[in-house]
Structure 1
């Protein structure tokens, strides 16, 4: 199942604020927690007490907690790769290896007696995962998670993200990636231009970022990289459909009741015999074939992202819904609305037979 997650940074934050943030996240259905231990600076006992305290709160609230670690932290805290008891004592569900080892080490870690998940860095397009699998890793205990990128201009381009992610998807490894709050200003470092995985997502509304990741079909869990996201952002994330693209449609002034029904009620899917000009959802013309639909907003040139419904002059195609991919004119179609501009990129993910919905 696809999950939503938060991130907190105990070395840079207050326990009570973190606790309140986790409680707010629970209210909106968040169930994963990312924590960073890349910058731990206290003694072993102090570090353990600080992290265990907030992890226990998260556990009581139903979060699955994975903590980000590096070889430097293992050395600093005197932790052996052959014994992960330190992390089990923190009550976390898993550890994320920010840096890789030799493959054999990761495979061995996946058999740790504490049942800890071993989460791998996904943001490298190399045979890293294949190497680990070749050492007969315990794959149900392997997860993958992309990096986030605090510096503007440094996050992944989509094609590279896709190539990296496909390496994990072919083995059905549970995966995660990050989106950026537009109000959060806390991360692990002293630079924070948002903490997304994809550069194209950095300044987008947070729910559109999540739609983008889930539309790819390559990511299971979406995590907010920076803290603290606003309650409005958490609410908007909680309301999106995690399993199919849900476009936000802005209706035209003269949209009528049947057109709103055609847009908002059916389960839409793109016809399998696709064309490059429009995405066609043809079932509404069958369901609502007897309902009249007078022409309006039908004389202009339609643009990419316009949502159309066939009018009374379109014969058998009356009340068929279409989304414009290529500009064209057709007076037998009414423009009923437009997809939000920031969501136009999601059109690329509507493949033959893809399911999709609209929300007003």
Structure 2
């Protein structure tokens, strides 16, 4: 998934546009139904089965099967069948939750906010990656242009997630600290002159497009005056600047880790991060409004505890280390970004 959230699509994965819910059951149970027995507390009727909507993952060839440890765990602990399905994209996951075709979705922060606003769904958890539940967009350039965007000499700092050393300037990081917490040196964006080739990610990408556009606008830079280089994928954004196809690029902090140093040996010394945007929340878990409150609370508790049950699945399939309670203020940041880029 996203975000270091990115839009993930892989040919061959099950794409469910309107969600007919023909996904595979990961617990050997039956297909979803809308009727069920009483909850353990006797306060409300629980369905006999529920559906968990997932987003295609570029690193997993069979996401439904790969996430079986999670859905099996939920099924066993809840006493009802939890079935996993893969939706076409985040928007389809929101539509599924709002239509009652899925009761849980694991999605990006924008989708959590959208589901809450569109149909009263409940954002309950946020992803934790590398010790944080939010992230910044990084602004980077080729070392050849460091003199233009850096007010100081670029320094090496270790990126804790992989132990690699990368170049930073403008106080973004130093030998003692590299936390990726913005905003830092946003005013450096003023140095991007009209006609400059700038690599942007997909327009739905917070780190690759939305946060940078907001930052550029805050500094009075008109993006229509830039030579925009559209790029798909954070690794490709880095490589566009590395190869000189763009002077400046934007991606999540620190997307240089998506490039194998064994394949691009000088990535750490050729691409310089010169600023960070304001923080944006990681994605997480949203639960439909029609799910009984006690069932919602139980699902939330179980998923929050999954990191202790099966940390390997959480890390290898979902790329994170934990789920923590959703922060309403953080989700509101995603809501504000949604409003800016909704086209309304």
TM-score range, shorter chain: under 0.3
Q: What TM-score, normalized to structure 2?
A: 0.24
Of structures 1 and 2, the one scoring higher in RCO (CA 8 A, sep 6+) is 2
